[in-house]
Chain A
Amino acid sequence: MIAIYLLFILILAIVVGFELIRKVPSTLHTPLMSGSNAISGITLIGALSLSGGEHSQFATWLGFAAVALATINVVGGYLVTDRMLAMFKKR
């Protein structure tokens, strides 16, 4: 049953995603990519419990690696997107 429930969320999110992103102008496609890159760093919240939980040592280290990698994505992604968007100016 949980699979169906998760699938439900998946479908709705995809529909919302398509509707929203279709409206992004081509001028902003690069910031869109780097910004969505940052969002895909959401894996971080999954990595947190693996890294801090009571698992085998190997799993814990994998969790640690995932935390570090996903943080690069999140921090780097949002910062570089902000840097780019700050340059888009109207005169």
Chain B
Amino acid sequence: MQDYNVLINFVYVVSAVLFIFGLKLLSHPATARKGNLLSALGMFVAVIVTLLDKNILSFELILAGIVVGSAIGVFTAKKIEMTAMPELVSLFNGIGGLASLAVAYATIVSAEQINVFILTVSVLALLIGAITFSGSVIAWAKLSERMIGRPIVFKGQVVFNAALIVAIVALSVLVVIQPSVATWHIVLIALALLMGVMFVLPIGGADMPVVISLLNSYSGLAACAAGFALENNLLIVAGSLVGASGIILTNIMCKAMNRSLINVLTSGFQAVITSDVKIEGEIKPLTPEDAFYVLEAAQSVLVIPGYGMAVAQAQHVMKELQELLEKNGAEMAYAIHPVAGRMPGHMNVLLAEADVSYEQLFEMDEINARIDTFDVAIVIGANDVVNPAARELPGSPIYGMPVINADLAKNVFVLKRGMAAGFAGIENPLFFKQNTRMIFGDAKETLGNLVRQFSS
């Protein structure tokens, strides 16, 4: 059989270039779809050319694996609701981690003579893969509400985690020194899986964007480490592209909350900050009927969505209202906070699904510069990301966090179920402002009510 090694590696270079150009095209919504296609093409040629590898002797199992995997992949990708995207992404992160774990494990058990370097990186891939897998499963359970969303902490957790890390390091060294003892492999994998669980448990729902981004990065790093173990360039390149992407997103999310990564990861352990700042003023409720008259006269309307919009599935009816308002002569814009929702870009996807043009979606800084020109700001299911306490109350736990300054618009309508505080449990002075009116009730029903009044 011929050795196609040079051809294989040449095509890997082509694949890497396709991945890179694919990501480059992702820099604009108009070209992004083509970019994704290029990236998929890169993957396709890499897989095809790998089949020429002289070490591959039987194709039955490969074919079976690909058929099973494709069927599951196609089914989930077609079935999934757009609102469930955070769950799906964290599940995919986990599957990627598990795949790297399996590759690393197979490398460790299959090699007869294996050097220390390959063994070390294999163990690393095994660890990262396992942590990514179990961490992602917990994140998925929390996001899909199969598990309680708030931080889970118990007494002695910090000590337990420290002991766990020491045990993992010690066992890793043992596996590298004596790779043939199978029991140690199993125990090491079990400990790493436990580590992943312990890492995500103390993190609450509103901090999920950070966790998903971080796990995304890990799934890339696991592939990268597996690349070192297999001495495969393409795995290293692709893995580090994903790793870099996850780290950048993690960083953006942390900045948007004015917190460090360490603070986010350990916040479950910190004492709940209570603020004794008293908020003056009164809540002024408004009926949808009265809101209609204000909106009818408005020249410009700004919509600020939050996780509550996703929960209420209110994006479609919001788009209906948008069209009616535009027909009425109002200028429409949407302001999206980086951590609105449960993952980076969550709101943008939901609004895109509802057919809102991406040119009407604005980032926080852009909109803050001209927010005082808007006649009405409608806050749908957002709370902490529009909390003016971040700007004006130095005692508040979220003081210093960049927020959308909704309170500076001429009128603010807050669509909210009831008066419960936001996820972070922080009082929101926005609700007590002179120019704020609260419209209580389900956001979807309230918006539907407004749509009916406009249509009649």
B245 — which chain A residues lie within 8 A by C-beta? Answer: 17, 21, 32-33, 36
B226 contact from A32, A46, A71, Cβ within 8 A: A46
Determine if A33 and B220 form an interchain contact, defined as CB atoms under 8 angstroms apart.
no
A32 — which chain B residues lie within 8 A by C-beta? Answer: 26, 245, 249, 344-345
B387 close to A (CB within 8 Å): no
A67 contact from B61, B93, B226, Cβ within 8 A: B61
Determine if B69 and A59 form an interchain contact, defined as CB atoms under 8 angstroms apart.
no
Determine if A9 and B233 form an interchain contact, defined as CB atoms under 8 angstroms apart.
yes
The contact string, 1 if C-beta is below 8 Å from chain B, for chain A 62-91, is: 111111111111111111111111111111
Determine if B103 and A50 form an interchain contact, defined as CB atoms under 8 angstroms apart.
yes
The contact string, 1 if C-beta is below 8 Å from chain A, for chain B 30-47, is: 101101110110010011
B266 close to A (CB within 8 Å): no
B232 contact from A46, A58, A62, A91, Cβ within 8 A: A46
B264 close to A (CB within 8 Å): no
Closest to B246 in A: A36
The contact string, 1 if C-beta is below 8 Å from chain A, for chain B 256-271, is: 0000000000000000
Determine if A71 and B57 form an interchain contact, defined as CB atoms under 8 angstroms apart.
no
CA distance A51 to B99 in the complex (A): 12
B residues 108-139 in Cβ contact with A at 8 Å? 109-110, 117
B19 — which chain A residues lie within 8 A by C-beta? Answer: 39
Determine if B240 and A13 form an interchain contact, defined as CB atoms under 8 angstroms apart.
yes
Determine if A63 and B102 form an interchain contact, defined as CB atoms under 8 angstroms apart.
yes
Determine if A71 and B105 form an interchain contact, defined as CB atoms under 8 angstroms apart.
no
Say whether chain A's binding surface is mostly helix, strand, loop, or mixed.
helix
Determine if B50 and A37 form an interchain contact, defined as CB atoms under 8 angstroms apart.
no
B46 — which chain A residues lie within 8 A by C-beta? Answer: 42, 45
CA distance A46 to B234 in the complex (A): 10
Interface centre among B23, B58, B69, B246, by most chain A C-beta atoms within 10 angstroms, is: B69
The smallest C-beta distance from A47 to any residue of chain B, in angstroms, reads 5
Determine if A87 and B353 form an interchain contact, defined as CB atoms under 8 angstroms apart.
yes
B330 close to A (CB within 8 Å): no
B residues 77-111 in Cβ contact with A at 8 Å? 77-78, 80, 82, 85, 88-89, 92-93, 95-96, 98-100, 102-103, 105-107, 109-110
B357 — which chain A residues lie within 8 A by C-beta? Answer: 89-91
B66 close to A (CB within 8 Å): yes
The contact string, 1 if C-beta is below 8 Å from chain B, for chain A 23-52, is: 111111111111111111111111111111
Determine if B212 and A52 form an interchain contact, defined as CB atoms under 8 angstroms apart.
no
B109 — which chain A residues lie within 8 A by C-beta? Answer: 56, 58-59, 62
Chain A residues bordering chain B, tally (CB within 8 A): 80
B355 close to A (CB within 8 Å): yes
B336 close to A (CB within 8 Å): yes
B160 close to A (CB within 8 Å): no
CA distance A45 to B100 in the complex (A): 11
B68 — which chain A residues lie within 8 A by C-beta? Answer: 68, 71
Determine if B348 and A30 form an interchain contact, defined as CB atoms under 8 angstroms apart.
yes
Determine if A26 and B102 form an interchain contact, defined as CB atoms under 8 angstroms apart.
no
The contact string, 1 if C-beta is below 8 Å from chain A, for chain B 220-242, is: 10111011101111111111111
The smallest C-beta distance from B5 to any residue of chain A, in angstroms, reads 12
B178 close to A (CB within 8 Å): no
Interface centre among A27, A36, A49, by most chain B C-beta atoms within 10 angstroms, is: A36
B309 close to A (CB within 8 Å): no
CA distance A49 to B32 in the complex (A): 32
B7 close to A (CB within 8 Å): no
B434 close to A (CB within 8 Å): no
CA distance A79 to B234 in the complex (A): 22
A35 — which chain B residues lie within 8 A by C-beta? Answer: 22-23, 26, 35-36, 39
Closest to A67 in B: B65
B76 contact from A10, A24, A80, A89, Cβ within 8 A: A80
B248 close to A (CB within 8 Å): yes
Determine if B237 and A36 form an interchain contact, defined as CB atoms under 8 angstroms apart.
no
Determine if A42 and B103 form an interchain contact, defined as CB atoms under 8 angstroms apart.
no
Determine if B57 and A54 form an interchain contact, defined as CB atoms under 8 angstroms apart.
yes
Determine if A50 and B110 form an interchain contact, defined as CB atoms under 8 angstroms apart.
yes
B residues 193-234 in Cβ contact with A at 8 Å? 212-213, 216, 219-220, 222-224, 226-228, 230-234
CA distance A40 to B95 in the complex (A): 10
Since A25-B29, A28-B29, A53-B55 are in contact, a sample of 20 more A-B pairs with Cβ atoms closer than 8 Å, ordered by chain A residue number, is A3-B117, A9-B233, A13-B240, A16-B20, A20-B23, A30-B343, A33-B212, A35-B26, A40-B96, A42-B238, A46-B226, A52-B62, A53-B57, A62-B106, A69-B95, A76-B72, A82-B36, A88-B29, A90-B30, A91-B359
What 6 A-B pairs are tightest by C-beta distance, nearest first? A71-B69, A17-B244, A29-B345, A67-B65, A75-B73, A76-B73
Binding site for B on A (CB under 8 A): 2-3, 6, 9-10, 13-14, 16-18, 20-56, 58-60, 62-91
20 contacts between A and B (CB under 8 A): A6-B231, A6-B236, A17-B23, A26-B252, A28-B26, A33-B89, A34-B92, A35-B36, A37-B242, A38-B39, A38-B40, A43-B96, A46-B103, A60-B106, A66-B103, A67-B61, A68-B64, A78-B40, A87-B353, A91-B357
